[in-house]
Amino acid sequence: MEQTNESFIKGAAILGIAALISKILGAIYRVPYQNITGDEGNNVFQQVYPLYSVLVILATAGIPIAISRIISQKLAVGDHAGAYHVYRVSTYFLLVVGCSLFFFLFFGAETVARWMGNEKMLTLPIQSVSFALLLAPVMSSFRGLFQGYQNMTPSAVSQIMEQLIRVATILFLSWYFMEAGWGVVYAGAGATFGAFTGAVVGFIVLIYYQQKHREKWEITEKKKNQQNTYQIVKQLCIISLPICLGSLTLPLYALIDSFTVANVLVSAHFSINEAILLKGIYDRGQPLLQFASFFSTALSLSVVPAIAQAQMKGNSEQFTQLTDLALRFTFFLGVPASLGLAIIAEPTNIMLFKDHAGSDALAILSLGTIFLTLSVTAAGILQGIGHVYLPAIYLLIGIVIKILGNLFLVSFFDIRGASLASVLAYLVHAGLSLYTLQRYGLIRLRNGLPFFRNYLPVIGGMVLITYGGMIALKSLCSFLGSERIEMTIVAFGTVVTGVLTYCTLLFRSGLITRKDVKMVPKLEKKLLPFLEKWKILRN
């Protein structure tokens, strides 16, 4: 039993590292892509890619976990034939889903592009990305098969290779088409085609691993299994749906922007070219939002499995403590990320995207990071205690607010209105989730006043010192002659100043105790000795 647990933990760690690498790569490439194609090219890609992301998530998110769970159950009772039958049924089912989505997107590209407000620029990129839907769903069945046999390496390797090839294709083809003078439409189509080339390589990797184990599976394949196909598909959908809904948050909000921002700008008497350019500038915020939210979300969600385990064991005290810890860690990382990015919005914009266009919209959007991360963490906790559909309802409410916000605010405040709409949507989404946790007694909002009384000096001190450090660095670097180099030094210097200031004030405030650090194994081993050595952590 102990060996099984170790194998599971090791496998989860492998998949976690692969996901981390993939998400970092998925955020980094957007900066050089914008530098290659400009804001107009950035708009072409960002208009199309959220649509693909939503369709892929609907078709695949949670499927590997669902397949692996069903297969593991069958293997536990020695039913190898049944396990392989689940894999085969899943593969055929996902092949039909993938082909259906491909035909919908490829032949409906003109209509979708028209809905997005630019049939001429977006039809070809939409058709280009549709080919990936032929492979992406089927790959989920392969990954689920391997994970069901507790072999996480094929999934991890294929995921990393898929992302590497995708990013390489995006950067190479966008550069090639721009250099050849084909323009941003072909550059965007080349970039979206990266989803297909990445899927091809990821699929080849999975086929390679499958052939290595083919002999064992051929033996089981010859056995007959009469399990109902409909029941297998039903199980897959029931298990994967909550995971799917939890993965849709960022892509759905981005998809709403694809269909509304440029259209509302045109209706507000901006020209089509101005609307395209402004939407491209607004899309600069996507990679920064991903970075700001990812690390805080990843750290907080690392506590969620322990929360589920504590509930299963009936340990209510540990369950409450871990829930509180997950939310506090999210809050402690999300707040400085939001405010810090707002402070350095202009230097970061110039450093990454060459100029300061849209810095105010970026600063506003960054303020929503804290609410976004809290909603993701709260959703994970709610799903962990069995309330799998409440997060989906709250996401839907947030989506409605985002749509209404875009329709009204963009007309008055251009892309700053889209940022405001996002912040409002994230705020309501997070507020509903936290209120539900409070109703179930998992958090105590009445204890919030003393907490904020202690926390305000921490965050206030960080903001003042960080902002002052940024002003000082701007003065010191003004002689360099290159604005982009100046702002690079300012941005990194300000981040270092903010992180050091915040961490020191936070640990010295007593808001994070030695007991809190010990509850997270990775922090206990790596961070606690350092904090004790420098006497930063209070008892």
Q: Which of 66-70, 226-230, 254-258 has the highest mean pLDDT?
A: 254-258
DSSP assignment of 368-418? THHHHHHHHHHHHHHHHTT--SHHHHHHHHHHHHHHHHHHHHHHHHHHHHH
Q: Specify the higher pLDDT residue, 69 or 476.
A: 476
Q: Which of 16-20, 211-215, 249-253, 314-318 has the highest mean pLDDT?
A: 249-253
Whether pLDDT at 183 is above 70:
yes
Q: What is the mean pLDDT of residues 492-520?
A: 84
Q: Specify the higher pLDDT residue, 406 or 508.
A: 406
In whole angstroms, what is the distance from residue 428 CA to residue 7 CA?
40
Q: What pLDDT was estimated at residue 354?
A: 87
Q: Which of 204-213 are b and which e, b meaning 16 or more Cβ less than 10 Å from the residue's Cβ?
A: ebbeebeeee
Q: Specify the higher pLDDT residue, 179 or 233.
A: 179
Amino acid at 243: I
CA distances (Å), 442 to each of 373, 382, 514, in order? 18, 10, 22
**Residues 423, 398: contact at Cβ < 8 Å?**
no
Whether pLDDT at 102 is above 50:
yes
Average pLDDT, the chain: 83
Q: What pLDDT was estimated at residue 5?
A: 42
Q: What is the mean pLDDT of residues 159-169?
A: 92
Domain boundaries, the chain: 1-247, 445-533
Q: Specify the higher pLDDT residue, 169 or 59.
A: 169
pLDDT band at 481 (very low <50, low <70, confident <90, very high): confident
Is this structure's pTM higher than 0.95? no
Q: What pLDDT was estimated at residue 535?
A: 66
Q: Which of 111-115, 149-153, 282-286 has the highest mean pLDDT?
A: 111-115
**Residues 99, 55: contact at Cβ < 8 Å?**
no
∠99-241-19 over CA atoms, to 5°? 80
∠394-59-139 over CA atoms, to 5°? 135
Whether pLDDT at 39 is above 50:
yes
Whether pLDDT at 2 is above 50:
no
Q: What pLDDT was estimated at residue 108?
A: 94
Q: What pLDDT was estimated at residue 1?
A: 41
Q: Which of 79-93, 127-141, 218-232 has the highest mean pLDDT?
A: 127-141
Whether pLDDT at 401 is above 50:
yes
Q: What pLDDT was estimated at residue 275?
A: 92
CA distances (Å), 335 to each of 226, 286, 412, 483, in order? 54, 18, 28, 29
CA distances (Å), 1 to each of 12, 201, 244, in order? 17, 36, 30
- What percent of the chain clears pLDDT 90, i.e. is strictly above it? 43
Q: What pLDDT was estimated at residue 319?
A: 72
Span 375-391, pLDDT tens digits: 888 887 887 677 777 88
Q: What is the mean pLDDT of residues 164-175?
A: 94
Q: Specify the higher pLDDT residue, 395 or 510.
A: 395
Span 189-203, pLDDT tens digits: 999 999 999 999 999
Amino acid at 397: I
161: closest CA among 129, 192, 205? 205
∠232-236-241 over CA atoms, to 5°? 155
Query: And the tokens for 42?
Result: 């950035």
Whether pLDDT at 143 is above 90:
no
pLDDT band at 15 (very low <50, low <70, confident <90, very high): low
**Residues 60, 134: contact at Cβ < 8 Å?**
no
Span 418-438, pLDDT tens digits: 999 999 999 999 999 998 988
In whole angstroms, what is the distance from residue 41 CA to residue 44 CA?
5
Q: How many CB atoms lie within 10 A of CB 306?
A: 20
Whether pLDDT at 9 is above 70:
no
Span 316-355, pLDDT tens digits: 777 777 777 778 888 888 899 899 999 999 999 999 998 9
